[in-house]
A and B are shown apart, each in its own frame.
Chain A
Amino acid sequence: MALLPTNPQWRGLVLLAIIIVVLGVLPWTVNNYWLRIATGALMWAGLACSWNMLGGYAGYINFGQSAFFGLGAYVTAFLMGDPFGLPFSATIPAGMVVTALFAVIIGAPTLRLRGAYFAIATWAFAEVLIQFASAMDFTGGIGGIGLPPYLNERFFYFAMFGTAALAYFLTWALFERSRFGLKVKALRDHEPAAEAMGINTALVKLQTFVLSAVTASVFGAIFAYWVTFINPKSVFGGDITDQMVVMVLLGGLGTLWGPAIGGVGLFVVNRLIWMYWGDTAFYIAILGTAIVLVVLFLPNGIAGLFARRKNDALDKVMDKLVGTGAGGHP
């Protein structure tokens, strides 16, 4: 007997409901240590989702996404400190506006580039922000900037959970279920042909870039308030973007749930290695091995394994093993 409904849509809804319920009760079932890991996992799942909007759906590989994460973090830190002393909730929209402005200014010229040229341009932008934040007094320079502490792990857990849920809902609604998503995917697959279909590709790319950037900035704002101290490397660092890229590639580029799978999976593995070995250098080796294996054997990422394909051998195997009723569905 099947454990889940055989109708793919109902099966998806039931799985989603189970995930939401589990995540909703999690803070009352684990200690603070694991709650912090769960909070981080949700943040990375959300950040990977933000990167996937442009990198996965539009096909523009952005190596400067940490710039927007950092902008959100710095705007929150700046506005919560002296002399402004604004409440946290008021700093988020401010960070979104600042990030959107930067995204338009940077995106308008750089989105004319493609491939490695675009990747290098965005990477350079993040590097410029590191140098800027390191040199300026109002950002606290290289020493960084502190925020008023708020010691409520559940608040940050639900802030990350809510933002990640919203990011995935937006991705589903805009990229999977709307005309806008068709335009974005069309330009990814063949930009001149998309232009020939009347699609203003420059505008659609810019809209996607801004959405992706603003999403990352919200996570940056929550992160800054959560950790209570930031410096240029901790929020603008290139390794932040690198992780997002790897998470999306592992999970499934241009898929809805791939970034969640990659984000949660890699972050939890990272924390477990740190917990048992206390040295994350081993994590880099595992990461490298995982990338090689995925590139060789799972070019569509882990999410690609679950893609519905007629006569898919995996479906038949899964059907026999766990009775999902997946086998034979188109």
Chain B
Amino acid sequence: MNGGMQSAADPILSVRGLFKHFGGIKAANGVELAVGRHEIAGLIGPNGCGKSTLFSLVSGMVMPDKGEIRFDGRAVAGMSAHRIARLGLARTFQIPALFDNMTVTDNLLAAAAEGHWQGAYERAAETLSLLKLDHVADNRASDLSGGQQKLLEFGRAVMRQASLILLDEVTAGVHPNIRKIILEAIARLREQGVSFLVIEHDMEMVRNVCDRIIVMDSGRVVTSGSFEDIVRNSEVMQTYLGRPQ
């Protein structure tokens, strides 16, 4: 077990020496990690440790102060969010960021409007079916339940035909049936070659879905490894779960 760089030789995402400070808050304080191709990596850590900020830095929503981010072999640090997205990186947000006044179908089509328009209507129909949202296809996104909103946001990431998807607590607070739908979709997409970096607090889900777990604390990666490695690490357990060994 070592830092977050432990991964395949040819990672789809690698982050080195990444810093982002907001005033006195060190949201990213020298982050080092990598995600392998076709890998599902889990990103865990206590609230406020910098996980979501890392997503924003990688996806171009927030500009880093310093450091290197390579996605699919290209340096993307400082690149605008839409350019990074067009390279094949998709993300979801911790609080669903839907296009509220648009229908469910239009939300999916909007996700494909830039760069993936060919066959968008067919893919939207497939995605609606995959995520079991067919019956609300013409509803406004704001009219969906919380769980359905999570599904729709995940569906938009699917519509991007991305090679790496960043999922920010995509199953948090959803009904077990919806969680099952999302997990099945993740498994299916992985078979098609999609990689994932998943922020998750539900350790059961992390254990069942993730190939490898990366642990963050205070703006940096403290360790990474298999689920078994992580739960045997007394320092991690104390930091993350607050449980003395």
Asked if B115 and A189 make an inter-chain contact with CB atoms under 8 angstroms apart, the answer reads no
Q: Which residue of B lies closest to A203 (CB)?
A: B82
Contact with B along A182-208 (1 / 0, CB 8 A): 110110111011111111110000000
| B-side contacts of A183, CB under 8 Å | 110, 113-114
Asked if B160 and A185 make an inter-chain contact with CB atoms under 8 angstroms apart, the answer reads no
Known: A185-B102, A195-B81, A196-B91. Is A190-B97 also a contact (CB below 8 A)? yes
Q: How far is the CA of A196 from the CA of B156 in the complex (A)?
A: 10
| A-side contacts of B106, CB under 8 Å | 182, 185
> Is the CB of B240 closer than 8 A to any CB of chain A?
no
> Is the CB of B101 closer than 8 A to any CB of chain A?
yes
- Counted as pairs of residues, one from A and one from B, with CB atoms less than 8 Å apart, the total is 80
- Chain B: minimal CB distance from A173 (Å): 15
Q: How far is the CA of A201 from the CA of B83 in the complex (A)?
A: 11
Known: A179-B113, A196-B90, A198-B115. Is A190-B100 also a contact (CB below 8 A)? yes
Asked if B99 and A189 make an inter-chain contact with CB atoms under 8 angstroms apart, the answer reads yes
Asked if A198 and B99 make an inter-chain contact with CB atoms under 8 angstroms apart, the answer reads no
Known: A185-B99, A190-B100. Is A199-B82 also a contact (CB below 8 A)? yes
Q: How far is the CA of A192 from the CA of B92 in the complex (A)?
A: 11
Asked if A190 and B99 make an inter-chain contact with CB atoms under 8 angstroms apart, the answer reads yes
> Is the CB of B178 closer than 8 A to any CB of chain A?
no
Candidates B80, B100, B111; contact of A197 at CB < 8 Å: B111
| B-side contacts of A199, CB under 8 Å | 82, 110, 113-114
- Chain B: minimal CB distance from A60 (Å): 15
Could you say which of A179, A197, A200 has the most chain B C-beta atoms within 10 Å of its C-beta? A197
Known: A192-B61, A192-B97, A193-B93. Is A198-B82 also a contact (CB below 8 A)? yes
Q: How far is the CA of A182 from the CA of B111 in the complex (A)?
A: 9
Contact with B along A113-143 (1 / 0, CB 8 A): 0000000000000000000000000000000
- Chain B: minimal CB distance from A48 (Å): 19
13 A/B residue pairs, CB under 8 Å, sorted by A = A185-B101, A186-B102, A186-B113, A190-B97, A190-B99, A193-B98, A195-B82, A196-B61, A197-B156, A198-B115, A199-B110, A199-B113, A200-B82
The chain A residues found within 8 Å of chain B, CB to CB, are 179, 182-183, 185-186, 188-190, 192-201, 254, 330
Query: A197-B113, A200-B82, A201-B82 are known contacts; what are 14 more A-B pairs with Cβ within 8 Å?
Result: A182-B113, A183-B110, A185-B102, A185-B110, A186-B113, A189-B98, A190-B98, A193-B97, A194-B99, A196-B59, A196-B90, A197-B110, A197-B160, A199-B110
